[in-house]
Amino acid sequence: MPVVDAITPPGHRGRVRTHRVLIPLFDGVQPLDVVGPHEVLMGATALLAGRAGPGAPPAYEVELVAAEPGTVVAESGLHLTATAALPAGGAIGTLLAPGGPGARRAGAPLVDWIRQAAARADRVVSVCTGAFLLAAAGLLDGHPATTHWRFTARLAEAYPDVDVRPDPIFIRSGRIWTAAGVTAGMDLALALVEADHGAEVAQHIARELVMFVRRAGGQSQFASPVWSPPAPRPSVRAAQDLIHAEPTSDLRVPVLAARVGMSARHFSREFTRLVGTPPGDYVERVRVEAARGLLESAPVTVTAAATRSGFRSAETMRRAFLRRLGVAPDHYRRRFTPPAP
């Protein structure tokens, strides 16, 4: 029976062959990194099989493999079953590396297998801290990549040849795809389905799973505030304290410098050197976090939240939210404010 690869452009008239997806398991794997993409891909397989009719090959075949066949204990205690042992031979359509504590402490055998399997894979994907597996195997060198927001700094420090980007939900760089934390693996899997079979199929699966085919904004909107440590110089540390204590005050550089007894130029230079970001950027970050807290917990308008967090106007706050979180304040409030009792 003549076949055409499953990643030919949507609408091709030929029959498609099964696209093999290999997911290595290990103790301490994050189970949603495995189950989420699996459900998306198998949902697409069921949909396409129904349309193709009896006898058509499945669009995706997802295989869970491990050092030995059998049960693997996930990070949360959930038991997952590997049906085959590493190495799993043959061609691979997509190699998907999940994350979890086991990925961050993986030994040489798993990393070596990832490196060898990637050489015969059409596509190499990581979810969450699975990026550490790809980075350890040298597969992310020179590529933009992302991971869970909590671990982006650690990834960048451990692998300086990787262009780590903390905000995207997922990134594609050639045949390398990396996703942010946990549920972002489902976003990435939908993107894989869209690349393989078109937007309509991906949209159908997203509706079935009650999720957006493309969620708004990046993962920064989900991240907890990460403040720079207090500066070792007392005058710069005093400026940081002022910014946190009085976000609605006049916090322009000349004003801050005068309040801590420094010239504006020297203050700006020292603040940037010791804190790692310019004073104006630091002030905006603090004000965005103050506004986030108000929008999440207080029944205030966007304009009131802007005023109470130190922004000159609601429009200024909107631009800061879009720049830092990727979503507007009103969208942020709808997403993160609990419903009224």
pLDDT confidence bin for 241, thresholds 50/70/90: confident
281 and 203 in a common domain: no
Mean local confidence (pLDDT), 164-187: 92
pLDDT confidence bin for 13, thresholds 50/70/90: very low
Q: Of the residues 97, 121, 128, 325, which is catalytic?
A: 128
Give the pairing type, strands 79-82 and 70-73: antiparallel
Q: In this structure, what token pair is assigned to residue 213? A: 């085919």
For residue 189, tell me if it sits in a domain: yes
The CA distances from residue 155 to 66, 151, 152, in Å, are 24, 6, 5
Q: Which residue has the tokens 């961050």?
A: 104
Does 39 have pLDDT greater than 70?
yes
For residue 321, tell me if it sits in a domain: yes
136 and 71 in a common domain: yes
pLDDT confidence bin for 5, thresholds 50/70/90: very low
| Domain boundary residue, one of 220, 252, 267 | 220
Cis check for the bond before 31: say yes or no (omega within 30 of 0): no
Residues 109 and 75: their CA atoms lie apart, in Å, by 20
28 and 170 in a common domain: yes
**How many other CB atoms are found less than 10 A from the CB of residue 212?**
12
**How many other CB atoms are found less than 10 A from the CB of residue 282?**
22
Q: In this structure, what token pair is assigned to residue 80? A: 């997952």
For residue 12, tell me if it sits in a domain: no
Of the ranges 13-22, 26-35, 192-201, which one carries the lowest mean pLDDT score?
A: 13-22
245 and 216 in a common domain: no
For residue 154, tell me if it sits in a domain: yes
Q: In this structure, what token pair is assigned to residue 334? A: 């709808």
DSSP element (H, E) containing 158:
helix 152-158
- Domain housing 128: 19-220
164 and 296 in a common domain: no
Does 11 have pLDDT greater than 50?
no
What are the pLDDT digits (tens) for 123-148? 999 999 999 999 999 999 999 999 99
Written as one string, the DSSP assignment of 203-233 is HHHHHHTTS-SS-SS-GGGGSPP-PPPPPSS
Mean local confidence (pLDDT), 78-102: 91
Mean local confidence (pLDDT), 216-243: 77
Residue 220 has a pLDDT of 67
| Domain boundary residue, one of 174, 190, 220 | 220
Does 223 have pLDDT greater than 80?
no
Q: What is the CATH number of the domain that holds 155?
A: 3.40.50.880
173 and 271 in a common domain: no
69 and 117 in a common domain: yes
- pTM here? 0.69
For residue 1, tell me if it sits in a domain: no
Q: What is the CATH number of the domain that holds 289?
A: 1.10.10.60
49 and 188 in a common domain: yes
| Domain boundary residue, one of 220, 252, 285 | 220
Contacts of 311 (CB under 8 A, 6+ apart): 287, 291, 317, 320
202 and 78 in a common domain: yes
What strands lie across the sheet with 170-173, from one edge to the other? 84-85, 60-66, 19-24, 92-97, 121-126, 176-179, 170-173
Does 9 have pLDDT greater than 50?
no
263 and 209 in a common domain: no
Mean local confidence (pLDDT), 83-87: 87
163 and 26 in a common domain: yes
Does 14 have pLDDT greater than 60?
no
245 and 100 in a common domain: no
Residue 16 has a pLDDT of 56
- What b/e sequence results for 293-318 when a residue is b if at least 16 CB atoms lie within 10 Å of its CB, and e otherwise? ebbeeeebebeebbbbbbbeebeebb
pLDDT confidence bin for 221, thresholds 50/70/90: low
For residue 295, tell me if it sits in a domain: yes
Residues 333 and 300: their CA atoms lie apart, in Å, by 10
Residue 23: Cβ-neighbour burial (10 angstroms; 0-12, 13-18, 19+): buried
What are the pLDDT digits (tens) for 182-208? 899 999 999 999 999 998 999 899 889
Q: Is residue 128 annotated as a catalytic residue, yes or no?
A: yes
**How many other CB atoms are found less than 10 A from the CB of residue 16?**
20
Mean local confidence (pLDDT), 237-259: 91
pLDDT confidence bin for 339, thresholds 50/70/90: low
For residue 8, tell me if it sits in a domain: no
Q: Which residue has the tokens 């690349």?
A: 195
Q: Which residue has the tokens 């994050």?
A: 30
Number of domains, the chain: 2
Residue 225 has a pLDDT of 61
Residue 7 has a pLDDT of 40
Residue 3 has a pLDDT of 28
Nearest to 283 by CA among 324, 314, 339: 324
Nearest to 279 by CA among 293, 295, 258: 258
Does 1 have pLDDT greater than 60?
no
- The alpha carbon of 9 is separated from its chain's Cα centroid by a whole number of angstroms, namely 27
For residue 314, tell me if it sits in a domain: yes
Return mean pLDDT, the chain. 88
